[in-house]
Every structure is written in C-alpha cells, then in structure tokens.
Amino acid sequence: DMHDNLVLLDDRQHFLWCSAQNGYNHMYLYGMDGTMERALTAGAFELTAFYGLDEKNGKFYYQIASPGPLDRQLWEGDLNGGAARLLSPETGTAEAAFSPDFEYFTLEWSDANTPPVVTLRKRSGELVRTFTDNERVRKLREAYAFSKKEFFTFRPYPAAAEKDKNELMLNGWMIKPPYFDSTRQYPVLFDIYGGPGSQTVQNQYNGYVGTWHQMLAQKGYIIVSVDNRGTGGRGRDFKKCTQLQLGKLETEDQIAAARYLGSLPYVDAGRIGIWGWSFGGFLSTSCILKGNDVFKMAMAVAPVTNWKWYDSAYTERFMRTTKDNEAGYEENSPIHFIDRLHGNNYLVCHGTTDDNVHWQQTVEMINALIDAGKSFETLYYPNRNHGIYGYNATRHLFTKLTSFVMEKL
C-alpha cells in the first residue's frame, strides 16, 4: 500500500507511521531505531485518512471506517494514550480539513440519501457556522420523488464447500423504482467499479451519477452496486486476496451477486445488465463474457481489456510482471475471452486522448471482436481524456448509455 502518513516528532526520537500489520490499517508510534512502541489506534476497522498531528497539545486527527465499513467517522486521538474522542456522531460519511494550528476544522457530512452539509467547527466540535446545508437539493429530491438508496448484505456462495468462501459476505446498495411493487418483476442494472481498495458501497451522497440512477429507477429499473473482494474498508485480507489475479475474484463475485439478485421474487432474472467506467469498464466487460448466462447486456467506458497495456506502476503492483505472472495476465484480460460474447448487447466507449487507460485498449478489443465476427456497439470521443467531458461530451455519453439500457434491457 502506498501512503504518505509519516510524521516526524519534534523530539527527533519518534515518528508516526500507518500500516496494516495486524490486519487493519492503523497508526503506530515508532522509535527512530525502527522499534514499534505502541499502537495509537486499534480495532477491527480501517483507518482511512490521517489529517495530522497537533504535537503541542498531544492530539492527532483521523478518519475510520466505523461503526461499519460503509461509514466514515472523524476522531481525535491522544498521543499519550488517553481516550479518543468522536467528532462526528452522525452515521454516514464525515470528512475534514484542519487549520494549521488545529483550532478549527471544516466538517463535510453526508449519507446515502442526504446531500452534504458543510460546517466550520472549533477543536471541541462546537459549531461556528454552516457553510451549506443543501436544503434546496433536499427539496428537489422530494419534488422529483427520488427513491431511497437501501443497503443490503448477502452470501454470494452459500453452497460453497470451502468455509471461507461459504461464509463470505458482500455489501451492496439498491435503488428501487418509485411506487415499487414487490409482486412485480423489475430489470436490474449493476453499476460497478470494484478496483483495489475502492468502495462504491458507502454511506455517502452521490449527486453526479446518482441522479442518473434515479432517472433510470423512475423508468422502471432497479439499480444495484456491490463491492466485490479486493475493495476497501474491510481490512488487509479482504483487499489483498486478489493479488496476482486481478479481476478473477472480482468477476466471480459480481456474477454471483447477479445470481443472488436474480433469485429475488421482484427481479426479472432474464433482464440483468451491468456497466462501469475504467476498472469498472474492465469488470463489466469481463462479466458479460464470463457471465454471459447471467448478464443480458454490458456497457464499458474507458475499459482495460488487456493488462499488458496498462501502466506498469499500477498493474505490476498487483500482478507483478508478465514474465513472473503470465497466467495471471492471460486469464484475467477480457480480450482473451471474446468468443463468449453472444448477441449484440455490448457497448464500449472511449476518449481518443485518454492518458490513463489508453485508447489502444478499446481499439485492440474491437479489432479482436471484428476478427471473431462478434456484434457490438462502440462510441469514440475525439480529443477527450479519461473523464470524457467538455463541449457536451458528458451529456452525449449519458444519453447514449440511457438509450442502450432502454433498448437492450
């Protein structure tokens, strides 16, 4: 793991350092000889952000995934071993920025169904002023009859013989159509990312793509997201189990999640689709190929299709080199499984000047699809980068995604 949570103390005899040596990411106090003197935070939860050390007062400030992996709390810790103090009692996601002397901080709080509230507070937590409460957005959500995002947890492999796999639990969220009728069956669209250490299933407001989700829900679709193995907030072992096989367990988990959703009485198991961007596009592509009996359609924006062509600083961190791990690269690159694509239910979009996931990834995939005689749809955005924005590009892209969902799902 890469981070910059290193703090050198003024006594020049100690430093603070973050690590997951006991299974979860925590902050530790070390002597300059490298001896760990004590843990400053501990427990079966992740330290997800470190905001800084106020050495004068012996306090430090941090964020943790608590009371569960979906939430984020802000805490004040004591450098000398005293009791820690919670600065954000509300359930949801709290993020902070501190003044240089740590006397004041801004607190941004939201949850899955509440737009961000941004306040200025004293070190004690006392409210100084509210910068924004997004009351207008709350009223608009009510006026447009937005559905609530609901969280769920499930066992993706209840019949597995292996104990660890059998007992595995995954988290997800679901947005149901307004006036949901449990006696009906609805189509489902998965929105996924699933990359190492990421989380899409978090108790935090998403006003960008989340608004698009609400529009699709009002058109009669259930929108779902699931955090597969390899994602963050649940400790070292859950995050690092995908090492050397990036995409294998992630794809298996999303396919298993679709099977679980398909077993629910209000889901039309024959109308389950999936979409994602970047790593999510890689995953949606893998799922339509390896899970072609479960997913009816897939959309991929700026996807990795061959791990050999993605940047080495990222890929080799998880996969090592092609020489060391040829099988890992071959078995988890979608381009090697195009024979499994059925029908004309795959859309791939890419910006031609993408400097993150190069356009080459999609071009090579399309060439292989053509060679194999497969049907698909594609859309290129000239001179657009990984984000595909500017000069109406975002609206154009999401208009296409919407029409593809309506036509294919």
Q: What is the sign, positive or negative, of the torsion defined by CA atoms of 232, 237, 238, 244?
A: positive
Query: What one-character DSSP code corresponds to residue 226?
Result: E
Phi, psi of 405 (to 5 degrees): -60, -50
Q: Do 185 and 267 form a contact (C-beta atoms < 8 A)?
A: yes
What is the Cα Rg of the chain in Å?
23
Between CA 8 and CA 16, with CA 12 as vertex, the angle to 5 degrees is 30
Q: Do 189 and 200 form a contact (C-beta atoms < 8 A)?
A: no
CB atoms within 10 A of CB 12: 8
Q: Which residues contact 391 (CB under 8 A, 6 or more apart)?
A: none
Per-residue pLDDT at 208: 84
Per-residue pLDDT at 93: 98
- What is the mean pLDDT, run by run of 10 residues, along the chain of 409 residues? 86 95 96 95 97 96 97 97 94 98 98 98 95 97 97 95 92 98 98 98 94 98 99 97 98 98 98 99 99 98 98 96 97 98 98 98 98 98 97 97 98
User: Which ranges constitute the DSSP H helices of 263-385?
Assistant: 279-290, 312-319, 326-331, 360-371
Beginning with the edge strand found earlier in the chain, give each strand of the sheet holding 47-54 in spatial order: 47-54, 59-64, 73-78, 85-86
Name the packing angle between helices 209-218 and 393-408 (round to 10°).
Answer: 30
Per-residue pLDDT at 1: 72
Q: Which amino acid is at 92?
A: G
Q: Give the span between the Cα atoms of 1 and 18, in whole angstroms.
A: 10
Per-residue pLDDT at 149: 98
Could you tell me which of 102, 108, 26 has the C-alpha nearest to residue 72? Answer: 108
Q: Give the span between the Cα atoms of 37 and 112, in whole angstroms.
A: 39
Q: Which residues contact 144 (CB under 8 A, 6 or more apart)?
A: 214
Q: Do 234 and 139 form a contact (C-beta atoms < 8 A)?
A: no
The class that CATH gives domain 6-139 is mainly beta
What's the predicted TM-score (pTM) here?
Answer: 0.96
Q: Which residues have a catalytic role annotated?
A: 278, 354, 386
CATH 3.40.718.10 describes domain 146-408 = no
DSSP reduced 3-state for 130: strand
Name the packing angle between helices 279-290 and 248-262 (round to 10°).
Answer: 60
pLDDT digits (tens, 9 = 90+) for 108-123: 999 999 999 999 999 9
Which residue ranges make up each domain of the chain? 6-139, 146-408
